[in-house]
Amino acid sequence: MQIIRDLAVLPAALDALRGNGERIALVPTMGALHAGHMALMTEAKRLADKVVTTIFVNPLQFGANEDLDRYPRREAEDAAMLEAGGCDLVWMPSAEQLYPPGFATTISVAGISELWDGAARPGHFDGVATVVAKLLIAVMPHVALFGEKDYQQLAVIRQLVADLGLGIEVVGVPIVRDADGLALSSRNAYLTPEERRRAVAMPQSLIAARDAIQSGEAVDAVLARARATLEAAGFSAIDYVALCDAATLEPLVTLDRPARLAAAAKMGTTRLIDNLAV
C-alpha cells in the first residue's frame, strides 16, 4: 500500500494504478477509522480493481465552536487498518495543499443542503461540498463510496456530482452498528461509558417511530414521542427528529413515498446523528 502526502506526486501514482485500465474506487474519510469505514473498503474492492482512500480532517466543514481541534487523529492505526483491508493507495493531504494561500472558491449545493444538518450547522455542507469536489477532481475515480449514516451528506454529494457532470458513480453503503444498535461513528469515542449506554436511545427511538408510522399512526405524534424518548434518555440540543422524502429530504407529514427517519441531538457534549429507511 502506498501512502502519499505530497499532492505533486499523486497524479503519477494514480496513473500507475490505472496502468492496465483498472477501475478505481475512492473512499474519502476523516480518519479515526472503524468498522463502518472498513465496510466502505469492502464494497469498494467489490466494485473496483483498485481502491484509493483519503484521510483529511477538513477544517471547512467545522463550525467555530465545533470539535476540529479534538477530532480524533490516528494516522498510524488508520494506515494499518487500510493496508489490512486491501487499500492500494492512501492520500493524506495537508490543509495547506488543499487550501493554499489565496484559496477563494467555495462550492454550495442549494436546496438539499439547507435543511436538517444544514440548518443546524451553517456552512457545514459548503465545506463538505468544497472538499469532496477537490478530492473527486484530483482522483477522478470511477466510483466513490460514502456511508449512509451521513445520509444528507450523501444526498448533497450526489447532487454535486450530477450538477458538475463529473461522471462518477456515487454509492451509499448501509450503516454499520454496534451490537446494541448504535451507529458507528468516530465521535462515539467522546462518549463516557454512561453516555454510551444512554445513547442507544437514538436508534431505539427511530426503530419505534418507523414501526409506528408504518402501522398507520400520525407522523406528527410519532415524531413528538420519539423526541420525548430522546429527552428522557438524556439527549439535549435536539436539532431535529424528522420524517423526510428519501430523495429530496423535504419533510413529510404522511408516509406516501420512500422516506427516511432522521435525528440529530447531543449526548453530553457529543453530537450524534442517525437515520433509518422507511
Per the structure, the count of domains in the chain is 2
pLDDT in tens, 188-204: 999 999 999 999 999 99
Domain closes at, from 173, 196, 211: 173
Average pLDDT of the chain, as a whole number:
97
**Cβ burial 237-250 (10 Å sphere, 16+ → b, else e):** ebbbbbbbeeeebe
The angle subtended at Cα 128 by Cα 248 and Cα 189, nearest 5°, is 105
pLDDT band at 96 (very low <50, low <70, confident <90, very high): very high
pLDDT in tens, 126-180: 999 999 999 999 999 999 999 999 999 999 999 999 999 999 999 999 999 999 9
The per-residue pLDDT for 206 is 98
Shared domain check, 123 and 38: yes
Three-state SS for 207-219 is: HHHHHHHHCCCCH
CA distance 274 to 147: 11
Shared domain check, 199 and 153: no
- Catalytic residue status for 34: no
What is the mean pLDDT of the segment spanning 226-255?
97
CA distance 274 to 54: 23
The catalytically annotated residue of 34, 37, 124, 142 is 37
- CATH code, domain carrying 197: 3.30.1300.10
Contacts of 174 (CB under 8 A, 6+ apart): 39, 148
The per-residue pLDDT for 65 is 84
Q: Rounded to two decimals, what is the model's pTM?
A: 0.96
Q: What is the residue range of 105's domain? A: 2-173
Instruction: Specify if 41 maps to a domain.
Output: yes
pLDDT band at 19 (very low <50, low <70, confident <90, very high): confident
pLDDT in tens, 83-93: 999 999 999 99
From residue 120, alpha-carbon distances to 64, 146, 239, 242, 272 in Å are 13, 21, 6, 13, 13
All three cell numbers of 93 = 493531504
**Residue whose C-alpha is closest to residue 248's, from 61, 110, 119, 122:** 110
pLDDT in tens, 60-82: 999 988 999 999 999 999 999 99
